[in-house]
Structure 1
Amino acid sequence: MKKIIITSFFLLATMYTFAQAQLAIGIKAGPNFAKLDGTSPQGTFENRTGYHFGAFGLIKLTKIGIQPEILFSQQGSKIKTNTGDFDANFSYINIPVIVKLYTIAGINLQAGPQFGFLSRAEIEDQDVKDAVKSSDVSLALGAGWDLPFGLTLDARYNLGLSKIDDDDPNLSKIKNQVWQVSVGYKLIKLGK
Structure 2
Amino acid sequence: MKKILLLFTLFGLFQTAQAQFGLRAGFSSANFEDTNFKPKSGFHVGAYYRAEAGFFSVEPGIQYAMKGYETNNDQTGAKIDEQLSYVDIPVLVRLNFLPALNVFAGPQASVLVSRKYTDATGTNTSTEPIRGYDVAGVVGLGANLPLGINAQVSYDFGLTSLNYFNTDVKNRVFKLSLGYDF
Q: Which residue of 2 aligns with 1:109?
A: 103
Q: Which moved more, 1:74-83 or 1:62-71?
A: 74-83
Please give the alpha-carbon distance, in whole angstroms, between the structure 1 residues aligned to 2:111 and 2:160. Answer: 12
Q: What TM-score comes out, normalization by structure 2 length?
A: 0.85
How far the C-alpha of 1:46 sits from its partner, in A, is: 1.1
Task: Give % identity.
Answer: 28
- Higher normalized contact order (CA 8 Å, seq sep 6+, divided by chain length): 1
Deviations 1:91-130 (A, max 9, x none): 0000000000001122000100000000011210312301
Q: Which moved more, 1:140-149 or 1:50-59?
A: 140-149
Give the alignment partner of residue 64 of structure 1, picking from 56, 59, 63: 56
Q: Please list every run of 5 or more consecutive structure 2 residues that lacks an aligned counterpart in the other structure.
A: 1-7
Secondary structure of the structure 1 residue equivalent to 2:71: strand
How far the C-alpha of 1:148 sits from its partner, in A, is: 4.6
- Whether the 8 Å CA contact 1:156–1:180 is kept in 2: the answer is yes
Please give the alpha-carbon distance, in whole angstroms, between the structure 2 residues aligned to 1:107 and 1:116. Answer: 27
Please give the alpha-carbon distance, in whole angstroms, between the structure 2 residues aligned to 1:121 and 1:163. Answer: 17
Secondary structure of the structure 2 residue equivalent to 1:86: strand
- Whether the 8 Å CA contact 1:114–1:140 is kept in 2: the answer is yes
**AA of the residue aligned to 1:106:** A
Secondary structure of the structure 2 residue equivalent to 1:149: helix
Please give the alpha-carbon distance, in whole angstroms, between the structure 2 residues aligned to 1:38 and 1:164. Answer: 13
Q: Which moved more, 1:157-166 or 1:56-65?
A: 157-166
Coordinate RMSD, CA, aligned: 2.0
Please give the alpha-carbon distance, in whole angstroms, between the structure 2 residues aligned to 1:108 and 1:148. Answer: 15
Secondary structure of the structure 1 residue equivalent to 2:170: strand
Aligned residue pairs, count: 167
- Whether the 8 Å CA contact 1:29–1:184 is kept in 2: the answer is yes
Please give the alpha-carbon distance, in whole angstroms, between the structure 1 residues aligned to 2:116 and 2:160. Answer: 19
- Whether the 8 Å CA contact 1:29–1:183 is kept in 2: the answer is yes
Please give the alpha-carbon distance, in whole angstroms, between the structure 1 residues aligned to 2:21 and 2:172. Answer: 27
Q: Which moved more, 1:153-162 or 1:141-150?
A: 141-150
Secondary structure of the structure 2 residue equivalent to 1:165: coil
Please give the alpha-carbon distance, in whole angstroms, between the structure 1 residues aligned to 2:129 and 2:165. Answer: 8
Q: Which residue of 2 aligns with 1:161?
A: 159
Q: Tell which structure's C-alpha radius of gyration is larger.
A: 1
- Whether the 8 Å CA contact 1:46–1:80 is kept in 2: the answer is no
Q: What TM-score comes out, normalization by structure 1 length?
A: 0.81
How far the C-alpha of 1:152 sits from its partner, in A, is: 1.0
Q: Which runs of 4+ in 1 moved over 6 A?
A: none
Q: Please list every run of 5 or more consecutive structure 1 residues that lacks an aligned counterpart in the other structure.
A: 1-9, 188-192
